[in-house]
Chains A and B, each alone.
Chain A
Amino acid sequence: MNSLWPITLASLAKDIRLEWRSKDAINSMLFFSLLVVVIFSFSFDPTAEESREIAGGLVWVAFLFSAIVALNQTWARELRNQVLDAYRVSPAPANALFLSKAFGNFILVTLLEAVMAPLFMVFYNLRVLGAAWELIPVGILGTWALVASGTFFAAMSIRTRMREVMLPLILFPLSIPAIQSMVEATRIILSGDGNPRFWIVLLLTYDVVFTTACLALFETVLQAE
């Protein structure tokens, strides 16, 4: 297990270098979430008061949909040239592969959020009434909740027919509690009524439980033949 972190970092560096040169995932994600923001914005056209109530849901739905774009590309890249098969026969720990992919997706989705959050503020005239700094833990925990289980289920859906369609079908039902926690916490912070602590703790629990399960079961999924 000593080799876990060096291999994770090496694989992560490889993915970041690939993404840096092609910018496939980040560009399609950015444009996709921009489209979601614009379409939501003119299909609801809310007042400042209403938008504080619904923005939490809209923001996270936009991020969730865009994350799907990145998650689907995670493993598709490894199918070309049988890279995944090479991973399978290599003595590297399976979890190193999982962690590098999850960290890579985390970086991508966080970048996306950093760009899109100000845009949301502009389009929906948002002004945070609660403690704005609390959005940071919610953002980090929420993003990890999406990408950790998302990376895992993407590795499962890559084995099925209709790969791209399969991922949301598996991921959405299972991430309902995480999504509800992020949305509720964000709504409470934006509107400043109530305490988001319960939702942050629930989100943290989801992260811990699902990350542990992912690490425990990833080898089974990778080696499933």
Chain B
Amino acid sequence: MKKAFPILAFLTVLLLVYAFYQAMWVAPTERTMGDVQRIFYYHVPSAWTAFILFFVNLVASVAYLVGKNPKADAVALVSAEVGVIFCTVVLVTGPIWARPVWGIWWTWDLRLTLTLVLWLIYVSYLVLRRFSDSAQTPKLAAVLAIFGALDVPLVYFSIWFFRTQHPQPVIGGGGSIDPRMLHVLLINWLAFSCFAFLICWARYRLEMLKRDVEEAEALESLLETGTSPTLAKGKLGGGPQ
């Protein structure tokens, strides 16, 4: 497994370079928006990747509550962290594109708001993990992840109704997409998914190592302090003074 990592890393870099080339030079320029539309090849794949990672987080959280496997918890943590990063990319690239095209940085549109709320929920998930004691963190975090998943449809309906009450902003929805653009988009998505998987993998290994180290340290300090008077004496008693 460890040998596969550099191979995957190498392939991912190649794929990212190829996808960048495709997005910048091969994909046709959009007629009305011009070159600014090319941000689409980063924005949309990041969004898809983030949503997949959040879904992975939910599955891993449920798996942890059911099976109590610490590996599932590590997967949940890793997918939430990387998901938040990709979600941040989405929230940053969105306004950069929206400003020249819509004339505004931000609007409380359905997809924008939903992404922002998801981002907020997962940031609060990470904050909870950071501030709770290590022994209870996995359970509390898994419970919060389930609440987050329950919240998403409610947020969806609240914004959907709220926005249909008001005039719609200009959205590039409903149109058809040039097949060459779709092709580039899918290549970029593949590259970004590989990239996300690579980061998750590295982060997962790091997390497992960190836990091993913590466990070893805890055991060591337990041997030194908690039980040392009796244990050390017992050991020393047998040996020469």
Contacts and interface: CB of A to CB of B under 8 A. Distances in A.
A205 B117 CA distance: 19
Interface string B105-149: 000000000000100110110011001110110011001101110
B143 A176 contact: no
Interface stretch (A37-45, A119-127, A158-166): A158-166
A213 B127 CA distance: 21
Chain B interface size, as a band, is 20 to 34
B155 A176 contact: yes
A220 B139 contact: yes
A91 interface: no
A220 B117 CA distance: 26
Interface of B: 65, 117, 120-121, 123-124, 127-128, 131-133, 135-136, 139-140, 143-144, 146-148, 150-151, 154-155, 157-158, 161-162, 165
Contact of A159 (B136, B155, B165): B136
A129 interface: no
Given A169-B128, A202-B154, 9 more contacts: A159-B132, A159-B140, A178-B154, A181-B158, A202-B158, A205-B154, A210-B147, A221-B143, A224-B136
B124 A224 contact: no
A160 B128 contact: yes
Contacts of A160: 128, 131-133, 140
Contacts, number: 85
B146 A213 contact: yes
A153 B29 CA distance: 49
A20 interface: no
B131 A161 contact: yes
A65 interface: no
Interface string A144-164: 000001000000110111100
B161 A198 contact: yes
Interface string A202-225: 100110011001000100110011
B140 A177 contact: no
B158 A217 contact: no
B128 A174 contact: no
A100 to B, nearest CB: 20
A173 B120 contact: yes
A217 B131 contact: no
A170 interface: yes
B140 to A, nearest CB: 5
Nearest to B132: A160
Contacts of A225: 135-136
B124 A169 contact: yes
A180 interface: yes
Given A174-B147, A213-B146, A180 B135 contact: no
